[in-house]
Structures are given as structure tokens and as C-alpha cells.
Copies of this chain bind each other. A is one copy, B any other.
Amino acid sequence: MTVNILFAAKPASWAAYETPLKTALHEAGVSADLRRDFAPAEVDYIVYAPDSTVQDFTPYTRCKAVLNLWAGVENVVGNTTLTQPLARMVDHGLTQGMLEWVTGRVLRHHLGMDAHIHGLQGRWDKHVPPLAEDRPVTILGMGALGSACARALAGLGFDVTGWSRSAHDVEGVRCLHGDAGLAQALSTAEIAVLLLPLTAATQNLLNADRLAQMPRGAVILNPGRGALIDDDALLAALDSGQIGHATLDVFRVEPLPGDHPFWAHPSVTVTPHLASETRPTSASRVIAENVRRGEAGEPFVHLVDRKLGY
């Protein structure tokens, strides 16, 4: 029997999700008709973005669940016409994408890959990098993302230190905390990865003083929040050689303005806030799994508690 699934989101989302969703539903063994137009009374499930034109759920009388495309549900959870189960998006692609972005950039700098990417132009210039076990990497921020990156880097053999405000414990990682721990974590960080939340306490955490505590020529990777770094202090440290390179994915203003000095600086790499993004492929699998569960009479995953609001 065919399940009717309404895709209620903006046209750009349809372009990104149509193929991955159909593939994921097929792989989940669900025979589905996925479309952007149905008579409301014929709809079995709604794949939903809170900015879609569907705001009154009353006519969707046989709808078994509303499956949110977004992690955030604050713009739908208060809708009193929504009486069906509501599931939020929990996409493992957010953590996995971060892990890949961080691991790739750590290896780029660790291995000195740029020399070969730019081309040796006929010079057989054999310079063997140290092993990962001799490369101290510090992760600032040991929440879900920081811990996942620390584990992946330790798994590849890196000498990993993790720092956060309060104490924590991750196997294979030297875990430090508090102000004294921060000074120690910075003092050894040949590569530092910023994955702290942005709070009053972490704003401008990497200021001129703290940049000066790092080993000369250290590399900074920031896929966390732009305001964790004092931009002017960073540019000065790059110009002096105290910091060897900065690869930045997040900025105080995004998109990063075209005339910002980060774009043209030879020791800065800009990536356009792509380290942690919902991936249509992995997000589609989450939605397909919930449709499969609904049809099999199994409980939905990632259900929103309507009283708690998340």
C-alpha cells in the first residue's frame, strides 16, 4: 500500500531533498508517493519546515505524524492546530560533518599538504612530517562536537588535549579544565580547535594574551563561533608569525564581507560555514525511518514533548 507524504517546505528544500528522500524511503522499504500537493485529507505524513505555507493542520485529518526538517521546533511547537505527533530532526550529519571538517584540516596542517597541493614544480623535496603521536592537538570545548572530534583525532594517533570550563573525561584524551588548565592546554597546542559555545565567558577567549601563550607558529582551526576569537589580535599574531595559520569556518558577520582582511591574508583559509550542516542524505534517512516505524506500528523517534516545547 502506498503512503502519501506531503513535502511542506520551500522550493529550494524540495530541490535538495526530493531525490535523497525518495531514495531513503525506498531503502527503508516504504512504498511512498512523495509530493508537494495533495488533498489534505489524503495525507499520511507531512515532511515539514516551520517556514512553509502550511500553518493550519486542521484539514490533515488522517495525518499520522509531522516530521520536522529542522532541529529547532520553536516556530511550530506552539501551533494549537497541530494535534498529531511532531518529531524534530536529529541528524547525525551535524556531528559527523564537524568531525570530518576538523580531521581533514588537522591532517592538512599536520602533514604539510599544501606544499604538494600547490605543486613542487619538479623539486623532489623529501620532508617527512612527524607522526601524529608527536603532534599535540588541543580541542577547546568538550561538548558533543568537541568530544567526537577529540575521539576521532585520538583514534588516528594524535596527542590530544581537551579543555572545557568544567571537568570531563574522554578515554584517550588528556582532559583539562578551568583557568589553569586553559593556560596548560594552550601552551602545548601546535594545532588548536575551537568548539566552545559562545557565552559572555568565552567571547574573545583567544585574545592577544592567550595567542601569545601558544607555541610559536601554532595553527588555529575555528569551526565553533566567530566571536570566540579577537579578530584584530589574530591578524596581528598572524603577521608576526606567532600564529602560523588560521582556518576559519565561522565569523562575526556572515557571509564574511568581501573586503574583510581574512579573505586575502596568505595565512588564513576561509571556509563558508559548512563544517556542521544538515545533510539531505542523512536527514532523509531519519525521516524515512520514522515513516517506516509509523507504518510498522513502532514508536516514532525524536518525538517532541509538547509541554516541554522540545
Where the two chains meet, the residues of A that have a C-beta atom closer than 8 Å to any C-beta of B are: 93, 96-97, 99-101, 103-105, 107-108, 110-111, 113-114, 116-117, 119-122, 124-134, 152, 155-157, 247, 254-256, 258-259, 263-264, 269-274, 277, 279, 281-282
A126 touching B274 in the complex, CB below 8 Å, given contacts A99-B156, A103-B107, A104-B110: yes
Cβ–Cβ contact B132 & A100, under 8 A: yes
B contact residues around A96 at 8 Å (CB): 131-133, 157
6 contacts between A and B (CB under 8 A): A103-B156, A108-B113, A116-B247, A119-B270, A120-B272, A152-B155
Cβ–Cβ contact A274 & B128, under 8 A: yes
Distance between Cα atoms of A79 and B165 in the complex (Å) = 61
Copies in the complex: 2
Distance between Cα atoms of A172 and B196 in the complex (Å) = 32
B contact residues around A107 at 8 Å (CB): 100, 103-104, 107
A104: nearest residue on chain B (CB-CB)?
A: B107
B contact residues around A282 at 8 Å (CB): 131, 133
A126: nearest residue on chain B (CB-CB)?
A: B272
B contact residues around A270 at 8 Å (CB): 116, 119-120
Distance between Cα atoms of A244 and B124 in the complex (Å) = 24
Cβ–Cβ contact B128 & A97, under 8 A: yes
Chain B proximity of A134: nearest CB distance (Å): 5
Q: 20 extra interchain contacts, Cβ-Cβ under 8 A, other than A122-B258, A128-B279, A131-B279?
A: A93-B131, A96-B131, A96-B132, A97-B128, A100-B132, A103-B103, A103-B107, A104-B104, A104-B108, A104-B111, A116-B269, A119-B263, A121-B264, A122-B263, A124-B255, A125-B272, A126-B272, A126-B273, A152-B156, A155-B155
